[in-house]
Amino acid sequence: MSTNSAFLKEMGITEWTSRDAVPAQAQVMASSEAAIQQAESIAAAASDVSEARERTSSGIWWFFGSKPQGDAEVLFQNIIRVLGLTPQEWSWKNPADKLNPELLPQDGTPIVALAFGGPAAQKLSGERDALPELRETVLAFNADGAEDLPLIATFELNQLIARPKDKALFWQDLLLAKSVLQNI
């Protein structure tokens, strides 16, 4: 299947005919039907995205670790896109910085933190275990002025680029973080 066919199928266009092969009147009818199908497909996709965003955006995501650059930045932006987060729903933080209590939402909006890499997870949680032992566990860290916030330890983005097979494990970590956020 060509790339164009895949895009058409994803847009809901299942039948494609060359304009040269269709008489003018049939072409107008076909393009009208295709336009209606495409509009319906776009409306359905927008609805799906809206529903996913409502499910995902029930809180704020804090990401801790070394600020991504290059391919890691592209990967991170894709993660944000897949999670359906708006710029107001996430922020990047340095684990070495002291958190200002004024940054905490005053309306009680739940927060989940994702630590990229063992050192970031250890610094925030106070745990001494290596990343493999910290993963798949809901850790806690205390942001000044708040009760313990849930913290999920995962791989550094550069490690995911170097070892693509770890992306499946990373996806499990994201799902855990998402589940924690939805159950706060």
Are 36 and 112 part of one and the same domain? no
Are 113 and 27 part of one and the same domain? no
Are 111 and 35 part of one and the same domain? no
* Distance from C-alpha of 144 to C-alpha of 9, rounded to nearest angstrom: 50
* Distance from C-alpha of 89 to C-alpha of 61, rounded to nearest angstrom: 6
C-alpha torsion sign, points 157, 162, 165, 166 = negative
Domain boundary among 54, 79, 94: 54
* Distance from C-alpha of 137 to C-alpha of 95, rounded to nearest angstrom: 19
User: Residue 107: its pLDDT value, please?
Assistant: 85
Are 8 and 61 part of one and the same domain? no
Domain boundary among 26, 54, 82: 54
Are 111 and 161 part of one and the same domain? yes
Are 33 and 77 part of one and the same domain? no
User: Residue 99: its pLDDT value, please?
Assistant: 76
Are 133 and 85 part of one and the same domain? yes
SS3 7: helix
Range of the domain at 149: 57-182
**For 33, how many CA atoms within 13 A lie in the half-sphere containing its CB?**
11
User: Residue 184: its pLDDT value, please?
Assistant: 81
User: Residue 131: its pLDDT value, please?
Assistant: 94
Are 69 and 41 part of one and the same domain? no
Total domain count, the chain: 2
pLDDT average per 10 residues of sequence, the chain (184 residues):
61 58 51 59 54 59 93 95 93 84 80 94 92 93 74 96 94 94 88
pTM score, whole prediction: 0.67
* Distance from C-alpha of 184 to C-alpha of 147, rounded to nearest angstrom: 13
Are 23 and 37 part of one and the same domain? yes
Are 41 and 114 part of one and the same domain? no
User: Residue 63: its pLDDT value, please?
Assistant: 96
Composition of the chain by helix, strand, coil, percent to 5: 55, 15, 30
* Distance from C-alpha of 151 to C-alpha of 113, rounded to nearest angstrom: 5
Partners of 113 in the β-ladder? 62, 151
Q: Which two tokens stand for residue 8?
A: 């058409």
E strand residue ranges, the chain: 60-64, 90-93, 111-116, 138-142, 148-154
Are 174 and 96 part of one and the same domain? yes
> Among 88, 94, 42, 40, which Cα is nearest to 68's?
94
Are 39 and 69 part of one and the same domain? no
- CATH code of the domain in which 75 resides: 3.40.470.10
